[in-house]
Structure 1
Amino acid sequence: MKKLSILLIMGLMIFLISACGSAEGSEDSNNDTKDMVTVQHELDETEVPKNPEKVVVFDFGILDTLDKLGVDVAGVAQSGTIPTYLEKFASDDYENIGSLKEPDFEKISEIDPDVIIISGRQASLYEQLTEIAPTVHLGVDTTRYMESFKENMEIVGEIFDKQDEIGEELAAIDESISTINEKASSSGKNALIILANDDKISAYGQNSRFGVIHDVFGVPAVDEDIEASTHGMNVTFEYVSEQDPDLLYVVDRSAVVGGESSAQQIVENKLMEGTKSYQNDDIYYLNPDVWYLSGGGLTSVSEMINEIDATLGE
């Protein structure tokens, strides 16, 4: 009788151990079958877990999008200048993953992220980052700005299950662009875009870094022969005076890189006093946070539209 009782107890223990093991195995299996999203991007095709919990972001446009959507972020490039409107991400609540051009690979590995989101400045480091976690390139192609921007937003919506919110935001942006196109057309004014960097200036035209003003918002370029490049076409104030645009848009690089704004002192010189933009008070200093540091995000694109809209009058 005692032997039978012992055998029953042993049998029960084996059953319980097996049941626990099966439950753990089932749990592991559930983790292994977590929903995945296949992302086709500029550099590759990448499998990303749906609704990733630990997100590392280098691109500020994507960061402002995730912030607007209420998505938590684990790591941000804090070693450098963070746009003022995203200054909360400079706090200790977020891990510092290095700078835009020099990631802290050790810190990123410590975070053990579910996904890393990059753009143009980190493209050359793509292979190294993919060794740590699934990496997705969501930079904006300036030659097809809105199409590229919308594709990126749709990818964000799919990864973070925010398709409805993204759809609503894009619809509002499309409506604003339609309005600004009408105003640009009726104003009859042309424009020139320059980047001020210390005492040097460069011009940007269609299909360029800031070409969205011409290509999407519909403000005609005073010079349609400006070569499209990331760094712009080196020009002088003699050139600006000769072109004599109705509207002059200025992006002050020094204000975000050096910490001091010097563009107005450089731009509004004696040579410029004879231009229409100077005489009509139509020189506009665009917010470098959204034009130079970020762009390509739900918040930054909306702000870009608002800034140009305000220059075109009622």
Structure 2
Amino acid sequence: MKKQAFLLPIAALTLTLAACGSDNADSGASAEEKEEMTLTHELGETTFDKNPENVVVFDFGTLDTLDALDVEVTGIPKGGTVPSYLSAYESDDYENVGSLKEPDFEAINAMGPDLIIISGRQAEMYDELSEIAPTIYMGVDTSNYMESFEENVTTLGEIFEKEEKAAEKLEAVHTSIDELNEKVTAEDRNALIILANDGKISAYGAGSRFGLIHDIFGFTPVDESIDVSTHGQSISYEYIVENDPEYIFVVDRGAVVGGESSAKQVVENELVEKTKAYQDGNIVYLNPDFWYLSGGGLVSVQEMVNEIASEL
């Protein structure tokens, strides 16, 4: 995807005022005004009323941020795994709008939402969703993770008039990242990031889905030539031994999609036991709620930092 699509630059936000309510001069009351916002994003340009109340959210990173900003939503996709720390949204207080890959268009239409927020998994359905309500694309550009993340949070602050709170929380995240980066670079450690999925393992390097471990936190990639792709580069256990990383960071996909084997069973075999990471106790199992399901949220990014920091 094009890099600029994810940044949602604040300069692209055009604010206009649209008068709503009675135009009757005899009423003696001033017309109620509703502020409009026009947002340019990857899939187009969308105009909607600022501070919408009836909001459908398909991206868990966005839901994470809205929750941190105390913004209410009305519908989320419950037809799959919801991050455990966002389980409150599984209650009947929130409408079920299908699954991440299969929106329930009938249910969404019946809700009459003011705004629909999507990300990569729903991109192909943007036009259809836009026919129901104003729809915006909001995802994280993993090749430019922090700037993209910050722009998304700032934009959500603009949309829901939570600018000050968003700025405060972003500042806290940046402070903790700076502290982590200082520790990591002082140790000058290399690392390998892998995704474990029921017996199969894939590697992720700099600029990838989990690449902020290298790009932002400061771990040197044990292999600079790992392919950058959504699904990672398929690797063998011999590959891990050959590269002999000092840290191995493991994202357990099976843990959140109903897999039959645990990542520890898959990863810690006789071959991997030969690595520095295993022998030094530096195989780190990352929380897939934050890393796989809801990356790019205010809470998830902070928890990513906390997880890595706790291992140093």
| Fold shared by both chains (TM-score > 0.5) | yes
Contact 1:62–1:297 (8 Å) recurs in 2: yes
* Separation (CA, whole Å) in 2 of partners of 1:25 and 1:56: 35
Q: What's the offset of the Cα at 1:273?
A: 1.3
| Residue 229 of structure 2 corresponds to residue 229 of structure 1 | yes
Pairwise mapping of residues 234-245 of structure 1 onto structure 2 (< 5 A)? Answer: 234-245=234-245
Give 1:217 deviation, angstroms.
Answer: 1.0
Inter-partner Cα distance in structure 2 for 1:261 and 1:200: 10
Residue number in structure 2 paired with 1:67: 67
8 A Cα contact 2:198 2:259, kept in partner: no
Contact 2:198 2:261 (8 Å CA) reproduced: no
Q: Which runs of 4+ in 1 moved over 2 A?
A: 20-27
Superposition deviation, residue 297 in structure 1: 0.5
8 Å contact 1:39–1:155 — kept in the other structure? no
Aligned to 1:163: 163
Q: In the alignment, which residue of structure 2 is the partner of 1:122?
A: 122
Query: Which amino acid in structure 1 is aligned with residue 154 of structure 2?
Result: E
Which has a greater percent of helix? 1
RMSD (Å) for aligned C-alpha atoms: 1.8
Q: 1:261 to 1:74 in 2, by over 3 A?
A: farther
Whole-Å separation in 2 of the counterparts to 1:78 and 1:193: 29
Provide the rounded CA distance (Å) in 1 between the counterparts of 2:286 and 2:182. Answer: 21
Matches within 5 A, 1:210-289: 210-258=210-258, 262-289=262-289
Provide the residue aligned with 1:22 in structure 2.
Answer: 24
**Structure 2 contact 194–203 (Cα < 8 Å) conserved:** yes
Taking structure 1 as reference, are residues 296 and 24 closer, same or farther at Cα in structure 2, changes over 3 Å only? farther
**What does 1:53-132 align with in structure 2 at a 5 Å threshold?**
53-132=53-132
Correspondence for 1:180: 180
Identical amino acids, percent of aligned pairs: 59
CA contact (8 A) 1:252 1:261 kept: no
TM-score scaled by length of structure 2: 0.90
Q: What is the DSSP-based 3-state SS (H/G/I as helix, E as strand, rest coil) of the residue aligned with 1:35? A: strand
Tell me, in whole angstroms, the C-alpha distance in 1 between the residues paired with 2:190 and 2:263: 21
Q: Which has the larger radius of gyration?
A: 1
Residue 229 of structure 2 aligns to a residue whose secondary structure is coil
Secondary structure class of the residue paired with 2:24: helix
Closer/same/farther in 2, CA of residues 249 and 21 from structure 1, 3 Å limit: closer
**Residues of 1 paired with 2:306 and 2:26: CA distance?**
54
What is the one-letter code of the residue matched to 1:292? Y
Q: Distance in 2 between matches of 1:261 and 1:215?
A: 30
Give the match's secondary structure for 1:180: helix
Offset of residue 22 of structure 1: 3.4
The number of residues matched between the two structures is: 291
Q: State whether residues 37 and 158 of structure 1, in contact with CA within 8 Å, keep that contact through their aligned partners in structure 2.
A: no
Q: Distance in 1 between matches of 2:218 and 2:28?
A: 57
Which residue is equivalent to 1:193? 193
Compute the TM-score of the two structures, normalised by the length of structure 1.
Answer: 0.89
Contact 2:59 2:118 in 1 (8 A): yes
